Amino acid sequence: MKPALLLVAPIYAPTQARLESDYRVARWYDAPDRAALLAQAAPEVRVAVTSGGAGMKAELIGKLPRLELIACFGVGVDAIDLAAARARGIRVTNTPDVLTDDVADLALGLVLATVRRIVAADRYVREGRWLKGPMALTGRIKGTRLGVVGMGRIGQAIAQRAAAFGMDIAYHGPSAKPVPWRYEPDLLALARESGVLVVACPGGESTRRLIDRAVLDALGPAGILINIARGSVVDEDALVAALASGRLGGAGLDVFADEPRVPAALLALDNVVLQPHQGSATHATRGAMGQLVLDNVEAFFAGRPLPTPVT
Ligand code: NAP
């Protein structure tokens, strides 16, 4: 008999189709009667598959006494209760590396779109305002100081791209990395000296509201914040207030505190570029992420080492 598996949230459709053909999948997210689903699945489910956004709460982990693996479709595991998993010896896998380039590309897209006001300029043309006169001049990419918060896989890919554009790069994080860019141990100092600050660190409790009013004020009226990490890393109320009052110059945001809900105030601002969490959302990358999920689940059932465990 095929092994049982709990699917906590929907994932990339072709990957989900493969899971549903290779395993007996109990779909938690759309079960009409979750208690009945658990009563049937819990005695045999050893693997749960979830998305980075949905994660897995301690409560659900607690209802699966035989759970041994949580395979996450996504690199960010901040929505999984890792402490609850660790306490039971449940292993967790994610999908690192394969999405790095696409997320970095989107980050650079947001840097270009905000500094050169590409989306605002598109509106300028569409609304016929060009017929009445030229658009205002914009900032320049080359020579602008880019501060990267979190010089990990994605942070480094962003820095490589920004370097090719002639940006001047520095970064902040818990420790200096063996990279060719300047380490700044003080986040406020990095924000003060940056024209653009890109957030690329993990979400979760340790980084909650790391980008607060003080950081936004240090970035200042000419500064731009780009967030492709997690909405939780930025104090969204402080961000909206800083943008609306002109204390912050602009923002490019792929992630939000309460996705897919975006504060109405942000929708009304011309100096903000918004994305519906699209960092890894290309066919190629979603396929590669799905393959990693399949590989981890298969390795688990075969008793082989997990390809991409979260350590
Ligand atoms: P990673 O390789 O683990 O890099 C994370 C980096 O953040 C590490 O260098 C880490 O430093 C640093 N960091 C940890 N705590 C920090 C703090 N308090 N302040 C500043 N830096 C800190 O992870 P990754 O693959 O680059 O992914 C980063 C995050 O991007 C993910 O966790 C995920 O939330 C987000 N993401 C978003 C999308 C999207 O669609 N928008 C897609 C993929 C990923 P140490 O190594 O010293 O701990």
Per residue in 214-226, pLDDT (tens digit) is 999 999 999 999 9
Residue ranges making up the domain that contains 147: 100-274
What is each CA distance from 99 to 108, 176, 184, 280, 286, in whole angstroms?
15, 23, 26, 6, 8
Active site residue 247: no
Q: What's the 282 CA to ligand 1 centre distance in angstroms?
A: 20
Taking 70 as the pLDDT cut, the residues of the chain under it are none
Q: What's the 33 CA to ligand 1 centre distance in angstroms?
A: 36
Looking at the fold, whether 243 and 160 belong to one and the same domain comes out as yes
Looking at the fold, whether 154 and 78 belong to one and the same domain comes out as no
Looking at the fold, whether 153 and 221 belong to one and the same domain comes out as yes
Q: Is residue 134 part of a domain?
A: yes
Q: Is residue 309 part of a domain?
A: no
Active site residue 205: no
Q: Is residue 224 part of a domain?
A: yes
Looking at the fold, whether 58 and 179 belong to one and the same domain comes out as no
Which residue's CA lies nearest to atom 12 of ligand 1? 150
Looking at the fold, whether 249 and 290 belong to one and the same domain comes out as no
Looking at the fold, whether 201 and 237 belong to one and the same domain comes out as yes
Q: Give residues (CB < 6 A) around ligand 1.
A: 75-76, 96, 99, 103, 149-155, 172-175, 200-203, 206-207, 210, 228-230, 254-255, 277, 279-280
pLDDT score at 226: 99
Compute the distance between CA of residue 22 and CA of residue 16 in angstroms, rounded to an integer. Answer: 10
Looking at the fold, whether 164 and 248 belong to one and the same domain comes out as yes
> Which tokens sit at 19?
């899971």
> Which tokens sit at 60?
């659900």
Q: What's the 76 CA to ligand 1 centre distance in angstroms?
A: 8
Looking at the fold, whether 92 and 127 belong to one and the same domain comes out as no
CATH number at residue 234: 3.40.50.720
Looking at the fold, whether 245 and 193 belong to one and the same domain comes out as yes
pLDDT score at 213: 98
Looking at the fold, whether 132 and 253 belong to one and the same domain comes out as yes
Q: Is residue 174 part of a domain?
A: yes
Task: Give the pLDDT confidence of 48-90 residue by residue, as tens digits.
Answer: 999 999 999 999 999 999 999 999 999 999 999 999 999 999 9
Nearest atom in ligand 1 to the alpha carbon of residue 281 is: 40
pLDDT score at 174: 98
Which residue's CA lies nearest to atom 37 of ligand 1? 229
CB atoms within 10 A of CB 206: 11
pTM: 0.97
Q: Is residue 264 part of a domain?
A: yes
Pocket test for ligand 1, best of 154, 210, 234, 285 (most atoms within 8 A of CB): 154
Q: Is residue 195 part of a domain?
A: yes
Looking at the fold, whether 129 and 221 belong to one and the same domain comes out as yes
Q: What's the 149 CA to ligand 1 centre distance in angstroms?
A: 8
Q: Is residue 143 part of a domain?
A: yes
Distance of CA 225 to the CA centre of its chain: 15
pLDDT score at 255: 98
pLDDT score at 8: 98
Active site residue 230: yes
Count structural domains, the chain: 2
pLDDT score at 225: 99
pLDDT score at 261: 98
pLDDT score at 143: 98
Read out DSSP for 129-146? GGGGSPPPP---STT-EE
Go through the chain and tell me how many residues it has.
311
Looking at the fold, whether 107 and 227 belong to one and the same domain comes out as yes
pLDDT score at 80: 98
Q: Is residue 261 part of a domain?
A: yes
